[in-house]
Structure 1
């Protein structure tokens, strides 16, 4: 084993949304199952039993129901997915020297150097078993010398298995696989390669790099490297993102509950706007109150990941009502969003949010152009 050789594990929770639903309702196990929204929505996730009928994620729900009329459809529970994802993250964080959370259900671990002390393969097997034992979720992993090969190995190991690709065996492992097994090769690129007579990774690796670069530009050279098992992507260390917060210290103590709630709504709007600008979602919201004697209290609650004002404001109001001591003046009021993540797309796939996203994008465009206070909720301009 050379000093420069890396050891990368890729973990992927199998059919994550479906697995969570089956844990919460065991009667769903073994059935063709779809997690998704209304009939006009799309399939967020589906069980392996449903896949046998040709159903896949992101498929229009109408198409899925036509392919398998007796399929069971569940709406999905974002809060539960967030909770299980955090649970798995905590287990990995307690053991792995360096890891990257690539998405709500996918992790890369850099185990380079661990071979000096123990067997990284056995260590990874043990970690997988610990995740299964504690959470009940099926999870697969691939272990290899780089992120790409490890990810492809995970896909080949599914469902609920694992695969180790020894150093120097990357090309042999990749050779028989279809070129669309390479991450990033979508339908359009797959068809373009097939038009050139390239169907397997072995065929791709046999092409002169110049031919691929002439046809696909810089991406052609990248494809050639990937076909040879070469990938230099780093495991980006996972850090809990910092919180976004705002506070307001009033010139005079405020006793008017309606005014305090109006302030609270405005502050929540501002932090939610910041969140969307950073393309993040929050999994926790907190409200802070300071009284005239400087006694400071705060309360927080875990929430389903969101960056929408209309989902955050009711939570903030609820916390305020639980926290506020009626009849007392308030010197300072604050709102904080934490447990930030960029898992926005995945946690929202099962919701019919396209129109909502368009609405918030339009609102934010106005704010970006005319200032963040140019559009506000009606409750900020009048008493509740």
Structure 2
């Protein structure tokens, strides 16, 4: 067999490594390293389905089914890249993960209602909560994740006077996205401009969100954890129950929920959230109160339609019966008795039946 030149090998290795996602490469390598440490600690040389079954059994004692699937996904990719092992063919392992997921209901962030958003914007003092308001309106109008808000720069925001056009940097799905906020949107335009005007002059930092204290912005950019805590702080200000349940994903979930409640189509919802998979978008529709009310109304309308149909048939039959009775009572007739004691005659009815001849064969004795 002809030996492959070293430069070709190096190019092939580099191409293979590029199969892993660039943005989450560190996470993939970290999970692969954790598995390697476990493998070495158990003196395992060859990676088989049985080995991975044992590994995920131990993981299941610490992690939720959702986390298990995430770890499976990262290991599937890294083992394919680094070891040329196709874990997707390990059907027993996949069945095991499905069984662990059965009946599991993942925790989801609570969402803010429209009235609560308006109340916070109007009631919360700007000297303390201005940055929280800007994060709220941008997160809700754009349906943004924490990372997208953290990475937003002043270059992503275009001021067109009565409208702001905002580009979303590096979405999770690597697709382009933008949204607009105009002067009629809950005063959001003025809030964003007010916050942007507080940016220190001559600052080199390009990130839009800077730490805000005592009505002033510092040069320190806002981190992911700070942005993630904003929904909880809003819930606490509004004195909502279980404020800690309003997590960092609250703004994105609130945005999608409000859009569905407003009657947005399925395709519009997918476009808004930039979801490639339909299952996530379907989840918001299934949870929508307006969708549930729409289904209930359809069922009620169907039942009422059937009831009205039966009632209409009954009324029609009653009308026809009354017509017959009226026709019979209004009839004029001539009746004669034959020698064989039968009765024959003719009658004229004022209604549905006209000029009817009749014969009764019973003899009269």
TM-score with structure 2 length normalisation? Answer: 0.23
Which is greater in Rg?
2
Q: Where is the strand percentage greater, Structure 1 or Structure 2?
A: 1
Name the structure where helix makes up a greater proportion of residues: 2
Larger relative contact order (Cα-Cα within 8 Å, sequence gap ≥ 6):
1
